[in-house]
Each structure stands twice: as C-alpha cells, then as structure tokens.
C-alpha cells in the first residue's frame, strides 16, 4: 500500500503534506481507540468450518480475518502497480484489477469491523480499523491519480493501444 501513490500525492498533487496526514492518522487512531468496544478473547465458534461466514458474522478472531486478506491485497496492488510502471499492464487492465478487488475489500472491511472485538488487546482492534480506513484512502488516491493525473502514474508515452485512457 502507498508505494507509488503516496509519494505522487505528496510531491505532485500537493493537497496535504506528510505532517498533516500523520496528524490526521494519529487523531483517527485515537478516536478509534476510544470508541472501540472492549475485547472479547473467548470466541467459542469454530471458524475453520465456514471461514467466510464466521468472518462476515463477526464470529472469527481478528487476526484470522485481518492478516490473510491484508497480505493478498497488498501483493495484488503492488504487483499491478509494478506491472504498470514496467509498461506490461495497460491502464484499462489496471482498472480491472482494482475493480475486481473492490467487492472483496468491502467484505474485508465489514468483517474487520464486526470481528474487531475478538482480539486480545484494544489497540489491535483500533489498529485494524485504522488500516481499513487506510485501504479506503489508498483506493481514493488511486482513483484521483487515475482520473485527474494519469500521466504521472502511467507511462502514457509507451502505451499505443490504450493511449486514450491517459486523457
């Protein structure tokens, strides 16, 4: 997350500075820490039988909901960005990758918020919820770069077939 989009956001777009984003993130983390419910560390549900339903309904442990999808999501986003930077993926294919990941991200964010009480410490719950906000911010940054600043991110000079997407 934020490997290519955040440096472009700070250097080229200039809507906010790194210090302002850090202050907003810390304030949001504080609000999430205060508003998070107390942890419940004794989940009796067998989430291994039906992982997706147990995660969706809030019956799985937070660690088992958070980490697997977080690793897959970041690997997918990083791979798509690297392939675009190398010129091996077109703009519309990059859009398709992000569109395919959108519905699983909605599932994951909902599961994180429902399972956030199923952890040992309250700080883990607030941290997981903050990361869901970061993922949504990353998606909004990529949408901003895609719509308003495509020439900064995509190698529009090298794309012959999909050159119209750079305008």
CA angle, 124 as apex, 42 and 81 as ends, to 5°?
125
Quick one: pLDDT band at residue 2, thresholds 50, 70, 90? confident
Residue 105 · residue 29 · CB < 8 Å? no
pLDDT at 91: 85
How does pLDDT run across 117-165, given as a tens digit for each residue?
899 899 999 999 999 999 999 999 999 988 888 878 876 665 554 555 6
Please report the pLDDT score of residue 48 as a whole number. 63
Question: What's the pLDDT score for residue 157?
Answer: 62
Residue 92 and residue 53: Cα distance in Å, rounded? 33
Helix, strand or coil for residue 39? coil
Q: Kindly tell me the burial class for residue 121, based on how many C-beta atoms sit within 10 Å of its own C-beta (0-12, 13-18, 19 or more).
A: exposed
CB-based contacts of 123, cutoff 8 Å, min separation 6: 33
pLDDT band at residue 87, thresholds of 50, 70 and 90? confident
Average pLDDT over residues 80-86: 90
**pLDDT band at residue 86 using 50, 70 and 90 as cut-offs:** confident
Q: What's the rounded Cα separation, in Å, for the pair 113 and 131?
A: 11
Could you read off the pLDDT of 19-64 as tens digits, one per residue?
Answer: 999 999 999 999 999 998 888 765 655 656 788 898 999 889 999 9
Residue 85 clears pLDDT 80, i.e. is over it: yes
Q: Is the pLDDT of residue 166 over 70?
A: no
pLDDT tier at 88 (50, 70, 90 boundaries)? Answer: confident
């Amino acid at each position: 997350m934020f490997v290519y989009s955040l440096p472009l956001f700070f250097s080229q777009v200039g809507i906010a500075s790194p210090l302002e984003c850090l202050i907003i993130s810390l304030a949001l983390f504080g609000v999430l820490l205060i508003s998070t419910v107390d942890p419940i560390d004794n989940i009796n549900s067998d989430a291994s039988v039906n992982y997706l339903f147990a995660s969706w309904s809030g019956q799985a442990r937070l660690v088992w909901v958070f980490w697997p999808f977080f690793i897959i999501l970041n690997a997918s986003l990083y791979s798509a960005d690297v392939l675009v930077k190398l010129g091996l993926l077109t703009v519309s294919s990059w859009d398709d990758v992000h569109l395919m990941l959108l519905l699983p991200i909605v599932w994951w964010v909902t599961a994180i918020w429902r399972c956030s009480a199923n952890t040992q410490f309250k700080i883990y719950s607030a941290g997981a919820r903050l990361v869901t906000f970061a993922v949504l911010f990353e998606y909004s940054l990529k949408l901003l770069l895609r719509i308003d600043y495509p020439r900064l991110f995509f190698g529009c000079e090298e794309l012959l077939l999909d050159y119209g997407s750079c305008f």
